[in-house]
Chains A and B, each alone.
Chain A
Amino acid sequence: MTQYVALLYYDRNQYWDSPPEREFHSEYMEFARRATEAGVMRGGEALHPVTMSTTITVSGGKGGDVLLVDGPYAEAKEVLGGYFLLEAADLDEAIAWAAQNPGAWRGKIELRPIAPIHA
């Protein structure tokens, strides 16, 4: 089995928390319920809008000055709005699940295989 993170991207003006998008929330919940029952969903959350972001850089290497920016790392028209962690046998199965998530038609979903880090 391979774990994939499904990254949900939205147009800034069609973000999941905007009032017209809220009517789709029950569909996300429905997706999460079915994927959990199937043993595919291993986690996932929505993210507050990028206006709530803080970007952090430590300048001059470890222990250096912590520099903060009020906002996202990169200003973009399309922004990350949430993620699901999916466990599937292969990419085709992960795609089949992602295609059922409203994020795939309200925005775009990027599937990234997880590179496990073992301590």
Chain B
Amino acid sequence: MNAADTLVEVLRSEGLRVLATLARTVGDLAVAEDALSEATITALDAWPRTGIPDNPRAWLAVVARHKALDLLRRESARSAKETAAFRWGTEAAPDQIEEAIEAMEPETSLPDDMLRLIFTCCHPALGREAQVALSLRTLARLEVPAIARAFLVPETTMAKRLVRARSKIATARIPYAIPSDAELPGRLAAVLAVVYLIATEAHAPTGGGAVARIDLEAEAIRLARLLAGLMPDEPETLSLLALLLLTSARTSARTSADGNPVTLADQDRTRWNRAAIAEGSVWLSEAVNRSGGVAGSYQIQAHLAAAHSTAPSWQETDWDRIIGLYDLLGSITANPVVALNRAIAVTERDGPEAGLAVLKTIVGLEYSHLWHAALADNLRRLGRTSDAAGELHTAVTLAPSQAEQRLLQDRLRAVRSELR
């Protein structure tokens, strides 16, 4: 890591900590964000000259507090009624908030403050798009242009999405609080779903030509690490981190030299990241130890990823175990994609006749290129080449990205050449 990277990393990780406490003290996420942004700009200007301070968090906290005070003083010049509408919970007068900021002790309840911030950004009264945008901006501390690029939307669209989300937090009074024990499972599930969605977006970009955007995957892992650190007793939190690490281990093998996607069956397993597999496996066993024998959905998915990661080859994969895990997963989430992946495993274990029969029982994937591609694979293995070509043709038209279209077109060409 060079000096500039170190500086950015310190600003991101410490910035989040400063923000979490400042948001509670100020009672307004937008003001806290603006104050931290200004403090970050000051740091970016000062630190390259002075070097990173011994205690960068304290430095940032002090500067951000001053910026927040300036912002609040400017704001209190606006009408009192307008100001009152933009406060969380407490009806504190501006001078009371000033006192609170002056007396702010950044370290006392930092983990709780970070949890509050996480649960606020992923509150279910915010739509998934808003949750994802806030998680990447507020929690992962990414800049708006970078988030906009990652999601292939114009910068102004992403900026508006963030403004609306912060405005709803303030106006509708989404609480800056850790959910009660009764609410926690559902609320934690929403947080984990956001992180999982960010990781999935990294693997399946729609529309664009690139196969994978490493940065979103890294951001999802970063967020998952944050959650695992803050909630080490929640097994699904640890399982999600395990799953993301195990999946990320295959990222560099997922793309061929010419930029085309490579399926799991064809990947060069020597290119898998062994360190990530090892770390993911450690987190998975930690999750198993804490789950009291009841595996959640992320834990099962992590077991599936681990089963593939430890197989010497596609042919030598433990398909019994994979099918068993898909059965378990299917019993807790009725998801046709799970059924599809199970059917692919059945083909490998019991042959194309059995695989095809299982595939045909799946309802709800008529518009999925993956289902048609799987049908084609079984048909081709059964020698029904013309039927296979028909299914592949459908799959090409349904493929959501250019990269996947190219992969399926290559297969279609190969099948058609068998026809002649």
**B187 CB to closest chain A CB, in angstroms?**
11
Smallest Cβ-Cβ distance to A56: which chain B residue: B125
Smallest Cβ-Cβ distance to A53: which chain B residue: B172
The contact string, 1 if C-beta is below 8 Å from chain A, for chain B 155-186, is: 00000000010011001100000000000001
CA distance A110 to B99 in the complex (A): 48
Query: Is residue A43 contacting chain B, with contact meaning CB distance below 8 A?
Result: no
CA distance A68 to B130 in the complex (A): 14
Q: Could you tell me if A70 and B171 are in contact, using CB atoms closer than 8 angstroms?
A: no
The contact string, 1 if C-beta is below 8 Å from chain B, for chain A 65-96, is: 10011110000000000000000000000000
Query: Is residue A18 contacting chain B, with contact meaning CB distance below 8 A?
Result: no
* A14-38 at interface with B (beta carbon < 8 Å): none
Query: Is residue A54 contacting chain B, with contact meaning CB distance below 8 A?
Result: yes
CA distance A54 to B130 in the complex (A): 13
CA distance A53 to B171 in the complex (A): 10
Interface of B, helix, strand, loop or mixed by DSSP: helix
Question: Which A residues are CB-close (under 8 A) to B171?
Answer: 48, 52
Question: A residues engaging B (CB < 8 A)?
Answer: 48, 51-54, 65, 68-71
Q: Could you tell me if A70 and B126 are in contact, using CB atoms closer than 8 angstroms?
A: yes
Q: In the complex, which of the residues B124, B127, B167 contacts A52, with contact meaning CB atoms closer than 8 Å?
A: B167
* B37-73 at interface with A (beta carbon < 8 Å): none
CA distance A65 to B172 in the complex (A): 21
Question: Which B residues are CB-close (under 8 A) to A65?
Answer: 186
Q: Could you tell me if B125 and A68 are in contact, using CB atoms closer than 8 angstroms?
A: yes
Q: Could you tell me if B127 and A71 are in contact, using CB atoms closer than 8 angstroms?
A: yes
| Complex A-B, nearest 8 residue pairs according to Cβ-Cβ distance, in ascending order | A70-B127, A54-B125, A68-B124, A52-B171, A52-B172, A68-B125, A48-B171, A52-B168
CA distance A68 to B126 in the complex (A): 8
CA distance A48 to B171 in the complex (A): 8
Question: Which A residues are CB-close (under 8 A) to B164?
Answer: 51
* B120-135 at interface with A (beta carbon < 8 Å): 124-127, 130
**A54 CB to closest chain B CB, in angstroms?**
4
Q: List 22 A-B contacts (CB under 8 A).
A: A48-B171, A48-B172, A51-B164, A51-B167, A51-B168, A52-B167, A52-B168, A52-B171, A52-B172, A53-B172, A54-B125, A54-B172, A65-B186, A68-B124, A68-B125, A69-B127, A70-B125, A70-B126, A70-B127, A70-B130, A70-B168, A71-B127
CA distance A99 to B126 in the complex (A): 37
Question: Which B residues are CB-close (under 8 A) to A68?
Answer: 124-125
Question: Which B residues are CB-close (under 8 A) to A71?
Answer: 127
**A105 CB to closest chain B CB, in angstroms?**
25
Smallest Cβ-Cβ distance to B123: which chain A residue: A68
Question: Which B residues are CB-close (under 8 A) to A51?
Answer: 164, 167-168
Question: Which A residues are CB-close (under 8 A) to B127?
Answer: 69-71
Question: Which A residues are CB-close (under 8 A) to B186?
Answer: 65
Question: Which A residues are CB-close (under 8 A) to B125?
Answer: 54, 68, 70
Smallest Cβ-Cβ distance to B174: which chain A residue: A54
CA distance A65 to B164 in the complex (A): 26
**B188 CB to closest chain A CB, in angstroms?**
15
**A3 CB to closest chain B CB, in angstroms?**
27
Question: Which B residues are CB-close (under 8 A) to A54?
Answer: 125, 172
CA distance A41 to B184 in the complex (A): 44
Of the candidates A52, A69, A71, the one having the most CB atoms from chain B within 10 angstroms of its own CB is A52
**B104 CB to closest chain A CB, in angstroms?**
29
